[in-house]
Amino acid sequence: MVDRTGHRTVPETPRRTDRLSGPRYGNRPTMKDVAARAGVGLKTVSRVVNGEPGVTPETERRVQESIDALGFRRNDSARVLRKGSTASVGLVLEDLADPFYGPLSRAVEEVARAHGALLINGSSAEDADREQELVLALCARRVDGLVVIPAGDDHRYLEPELKAGVATVFVDRPAGLIDADVVLSDNFGGARDGVAHLIAHGHRRIGFIGDMPGIHTASERLRGYRAAMEDADIQVEDAWISLGVTDPERVRRATEEMLSHPDPVTAVFAGNNRVTVTVIRVLTEQSRQVALVGFDDIELADLLQPGVTVVAQDAAALGRTAAERLFRQLDGTLRAPERIELPTRLITRGSGELPPAD
Amino acid sequence: MVDRTGHRTVPETPRRTDRLSGPRYGNRPTMKDVAARAGVGLKTVSRVVNGEPGVTPETERRVQESIDALGFRRNDSARVLRKGSTASVGLVLEDLADPFYGPLSRAVEEVARAHGALLINGSSAEDADREQELVLALCARRVDGLVVIPAGDDHRYLEPELKAGVATVFVDRPAGLIDADVVLSDNFGGARDGVAHLIAHGHRRIGFIGDMPGIHTASERLRGYRAAMEDADIQVEDAWISLGVTDPERVRRATEEMLSHPDPVTAVFAGNNRVTVTVIRVLTEQSRQVALVGFDDIELADLLQPGVTVVAQDAAALGRTAAERLFRQLDGTLRAPERIELPTRLITRGSGELPPAD
DNA sequence: CTGAAAGCGCTTACAG
DNA sequence: CTGAAAGCGCTTACAG
C-alpha cells in the first residue's frame, strides 16, 4: 500500500490474519521500504540502524524520520542468517516448574545476557526422547550454545553437532557415551557428609530413600550413603534402602514400611527435595522421633519443628558455572572437555541432630 | 575442504574459533552440499528433508545417505526467514528464580509446544527499562507472540508492534496505556475473602502488609482488604496498613511495629508469598498468638504449626490461559482485547482460624 | 519426478 | 560519504 506521496501506509486495524498468509511477518516495513521513503540506498539505512559511522547528520535525520514514520524494527532473523551467530543459547532442563531449576535458569540467563544472548528454554519432562527432540530443535535453530540437564543417558545423537562446533555443557548429570563438559554438585561427598552427620549423632540404623537408580545423582548419593556407613563399620540392611520414583505415594509407602519394621531405622537420609517433603509429612505423623537429613535445601525448612537439616547444593552456581564455561568454549579459549564438581554445604537446623529414639 | 572423491571432509577436531569468523555456523554442510554430493538438485534435497512427496525411493536413498554422511541438519534460521513465522513465543517475567513463575512458565511452554513453538524466556528483574529492552529484542527476533508479566506501567512502546500484528497477552498485571489482552487473578476478590475470613473468626483489628502501592496486584489486594473491612463496618486505622518493598528487612520491621502498638492488631493479612514467609518468621517469635492469612500459596505451608491459611492463585492456569489466548490471536479467531479474571481459592489450614488473642 | 531461478531481509565486500 | 551487487541457507512458484 503506497499512497500518492510515495509513503507506505499502514492500516489502522491490524490485519492479523495476514501474518499467516505471507512471508512478510505481518506487513512490517523492511530496510528497503525505509530506504525508498528516505530516498537513500539500502546500505545507508543499515548504517543508521546499526549506528555505523559515515553518514551525514542530514542523511541520518531523513533515515531516522523514515524509520519512525514506518515503525521499522530490524528483523534479527535475517541478520542472524547473514552473521552466522544467533546470539542465543538453549537450556534444556527437566521441568521449569521445579523450584530447583528456577535459580539455575536465572543464572544461565544472566550470563547469557552479559554476552548479549537470549535464552531459549525447554523442559524434557525427564523423558529422553523429548530431551533429544528439544536439543536437536535448538541445534536446528543454530543456537550458539547449549546447556543441558540430561534426562537420557545416551547422547551420541549429539556427536555430529559437537563436531560442527555447537558449544555444549551438561549440568547436574554427566553426558552419556560422549565426551563433553559437565558441571556437577559433589553428590557423593554431600551425601556421605550428611549420613556421617547422622552417625556422629549416634545413629546406626539409617534409611536411604532416593530417586530411580538410573539417575546419576541418585546413584552417586547412594554411593555416598554406603561410603559413610562403611567408614563407620555399619552393615547396611536391604530394608534400609528404597529407590524409585519420587512421587508422594511411592515415597510415603517406602517411608512407612521402613518405620514399621520390627527393628526400625532411627534416622532417614532423603535423596532429594521432593523426597524430603514427603518424608517430613510421614515423620510428623509418627509418635516416635526420627532424625532426618535431606539432600537439597527447601524453602521454610528453618520454620518447621524441628528445622530440617539439609545438604544444600548451590543451583545458581551450577547454572552460572556452566554458562560461563559455555561462553569460554565459544571464545575458543577452552581445550579438552572437563568435569567440574561444586561443593555442597551441610546446614544443621535440628532434624539431623535428634538422637536415636530407643 | 573437498577430497578427491568429491566428498566434503569434516576435520576430526572441531575448529571452534571458526564459528566466530565466518558466516557458516561452524562449518556445517548446507542443502547445497548435500545436493552436490548426492548429484541432485537443491529442491530435491529440500523435498527429502521435509518429507514432501514426489521423490523416487532410489533418489531419496541417495539423498539420505548424503545427509547422514555429511551430518546435515536443516538450518531453521534460514527456513524461518523465508516462511515468515519463527515458531517461537517470548515470555517476559519478573524473575525466573521466583517459585511463582515456575509453573506459569511451564504452562506457557506446554501450550507453545502443542503448537510447535519454542519458548524464549527473559527476566525483567522488576525493571521497566529492562522489560522494554527484552520485549523489543523479542520483537526484533520476530517471535510469533509475546506473553508479558509487566514490570513497567507504560507500554505505549509496544504500539507499533501491536499494529504490525505481534500477538500479545499480558499476565498477572494489566498493560499500561495501551489496549491489550490481559489475564489476571481476582486479586480484589481473593483479598476481600481472605480478610472476611479473619473477620468471621472474630478479628476486628487486622493488619495489611503488602507490596509497593504502584504494583497493580498490590493495590487491588489492598482494595479487597478495605472492602472487607468496610463490609464489616470496621474503621481501618493507618497504623494497620504497611506498603513497600517485600524484602525481609522492611517486612520484618513493619510487622514488629504493627505488633508493638499499644492496641495491636490480632491478625495479619500478608500481601504476597514473600511477605507471608517473613511474617511467619516474626510471628513465631511472638509470645502472643496472631492470626495470619497470606495471598499466594507457599510450599510446606501445611506442615508449619499452625498450618498457614492462604488465598491461592493458580499460576499454571494463568500461564495456560494466556498462552491459549495468544494462539487464538494468531489463528485470527479473536477480535477485541479482553480482560480475563481467574478465581482464587481460600485454603484453610489453621493460622487463619486462630481466634483473637486478648 | 526433478530442478533452476527468484526471493525472504538483512550484512559483507567492494567500488565510486 | 554512499550505494549496487552478491550472498547467508533455506522455500516458493514455476517450468520441464
pLDDT digit string (tens) for B8-18? 333 323 333 33
Torsion from C-alpha of A264, A267, A272, A278, nearest 10 degrees:
60
The three cell numbers locating residue A210: 532416593
pLDDT at res. A344: 98
Quick one: average pLDDT of B330-344? 89
The C-alpha cell 508492534 sits at: B161
pLDDT of residue B352 exceeding 80, the answer is yes
The average confidence (pLDDT) of chain A is: 89
pLDDT of residue A270 exceeding 60, the answer is yes
**Residue B140: closest CA among A299, A89, A231, A31:** A31
pLDDT of residue A219 exceeding 60, the answer is yes
Do the chains contact at A332 and B16, CB–CB below 8 Å?
yes
Q: How long a stretch of residues is chain B?
A: 358
Nucleotides in chain C with any atom closer than 7 Å to protein CB: 1-13
Nucleotide nearest to A58 (CA to C1'): D1
pLDDT of residue B119 exceeding 60, the answer is yes
DSSP-assigned states of every residue in B201-218: TT--SEEEEES-TTSHHH
Task: Report the distance from CA of residue B82 to the C1' of nucleotide D15 in Å, as an integer.
Answer: 22
Quick one: average pLDDT of B330-339? 85
Do the chains contact at B85 and A19, CB–CB below 8 Å?
yes
Task: Report the distance from CA of residue A87 to the C1' of nucleotide D4 in Å, as an integer.
Answer: 29
For strand C, which residues in window 47-86 of chain B come within 7 Å by CB? 47, 53-56, 59, 78, 81-82, 84
Q: Which of A120, A163, A301 sits opposite B10 (nearest CB)?
A: A163
> In the β-sheet with B167-171, what is the strand arrangement from edge to edge?
A339-342, A181-185, A167-171, A145-148, A88-93, A118-123, B118-123, B88-93, B145-148, B167-171, B181-185, B339-342
Given a contact cutoff of 8 angstroms between Cβ atoms, the answer to whether B150 and B315 are in contact is: no
B1 — pLDDT class (breaks 50, 70, 90): very low
Task: Report the distance from CA of residue B62 to the C1' of nucleotide C1 in Å, as an integer.
Answer: 15
pLDDT of residue A357 exceeding 70, the answer is yes
pLDDT of residue A133 exceeding 80, the answer is yes
Lowest mean pLDDT among A163-167, B60-64, B204-208: A163-167
Instruction: Break chain B down into helix, strand, coil percent, rounded to 5.
Output: 40, 15, 40
- Please report which helix (H) or strand (E) contains residue A339, including its range: strand A339-342
User: How far apart are the C-alpha atoms of B192 and B61, rounded to whole Å?
Assistant: 68
* Strand, helix or coil for residue A310: strand
* Cβ neighbours of residue B124 closer than 8 Å, sequence gap 6 or more: B92, B93, B94, B130, B131, B134, B149, B150, B151
Could you tell me how far CA A80 lies from the centroid of its own chain? 25
pLDDT at res. A231: 97
Task: Report the distance from CA of residue B15 to the C1' of nucleotide D10 in Å, as an integer.
Answer: 25
User: How far apart are the C-alpha atoms of A333 and A336, rounded to whole Å?
Assistant: 10
**Count of A-B CB contacts under 8 Å:** 216
Closest CA-bearing residue to C1' of C11: A82
pLDDT of residue A100 exceeding 60, the answer is yes
Do the chains contact at A25 and B78, CB–CB below 8 Å?
no
Decide which of A17 and A201 is more confident. A201
Q: Which of B16, B19, B81 sits opposite A78 (nearest CB)?
A: B81
pLDDT at res. B26: 59
The three cell numbers locating residue B248: 525481609
The model's pLDDT over B136-189, given as tens digits with 9 standing for 90+, comes to 999 999 999 999 999 999 999 999 888 888 899 999 999 999 999 999 999 999
Quick one: average pLDDT of A26-31? 83
User: How far apart are the C-alpha atoms of B227 and B242, rounded to whole Å?
Assistant: 17
pLDDT of residue A320 exceeding 50, the answer is yes
**Residue A182: closest CA among A146, A157, A218:** A146
Q: What is the CA radius of gyration of chain A?
A: 28
The model's pLDDT over B46-90, given as tens digits with 9 standing for 90+, comes to 999 999 888 899 999 999 999 999 989 999 989 989 988 889 999
pLDDT of residue A353 exceeding 70, the answer is yes
pLDDT at res. B169: 97
pLDDT at res. A25: 55
Quick one: average pLDDT of B95-107? 93
* CB-CB neighbors (< 8 A) of A101 in chain B: 102
CA distances from B272 to A96, B206, B217 (A): 21, 16, 9
Nucleotides in chain D with any atom closer than 7 Å to protein CB: 1-5, 7-13
pLDDT at res. B94: 93
Quick one: average pLDDT of A333-353? 93
The three cell numbers locating residue A22: 505471507
Q: Which of B76, B299, B330 sits opposite A299 (nearest CB)?
A: B299
pLDDT at res. A13: 31
Do the chains contact at B97 and A102, CB–CB below 8 Å?
yes
pLDDT of residue A16 exceeding 50, the answer is no
* CB-CB neighbors (< 8 A) of A310 in chain B: none
User: How far apart are the C-alpha atoms of B258 and B267, rounded to whole Å?
Assistant: 10
